[in-house]
Amino acid sequence: MPTDEDFAEITQLLEADETDESPRLIVTHITSPEEALEMVRAAQVLGLGVRLSNRLRIEEDEDGEATAADEWVLDLLESPPEVEEE
């Protein structure tokens, strides 16, 4: 059974979440550039936000040769992030 301390901790977490101004992360996808573009378009239609980045993953094949694989990381957010004018 939860104690008063547990309740206080949960309350603090909820309050901290309310003051956080960045949109919540819904899901992260590692995908191809083509699929990332399709996901960005879908997010725009639905009014969701995205963060998109790419990275290289270095892997060795069975012959011991290094190959680079391009990965696209798409974070789907509850809403588009707001930015302040500079």
Mean pLDDT of 73-85: 90
Does 40 fall in a domain? yes
Amino acid 81: pLDDT: 86
Q: Domain containing 46: what range?
A: 23-77
Q: Residue 2: inside a domain, yes or no?
A: no
At 5 the three-state DSSP class reads helix
pLDDT score of 25: 94
Q: pLDDT tens, 29-39?
A: 999 999 999 99
Q: Is residue 41 part of a domain?
A: yes
Tokens 């270095």 — which residue? 58
pLDDT tens digit sequence for 3-39:
666 666 666 665 655 555 789 999 999 999 999 999 9
The answer as to whether 9 is a domain residue is: no
Residue 86 lies in a domain: no
Confirm whether 53 is domain-assigned: yes
pLDDT greater at residue 21 or residue 61: 61
Provide DSSP, 21-80: -SPPEEEEEEE-HHHHHHHHHHHHHHT-EEEEEEEEEEEE-TTS-EEEEEEEEEEEESSP
The answer to whether position 28 is within a domain reads yes
From the centroid of its chain, how far is CA 21? 15
35 is a domain residue: yes
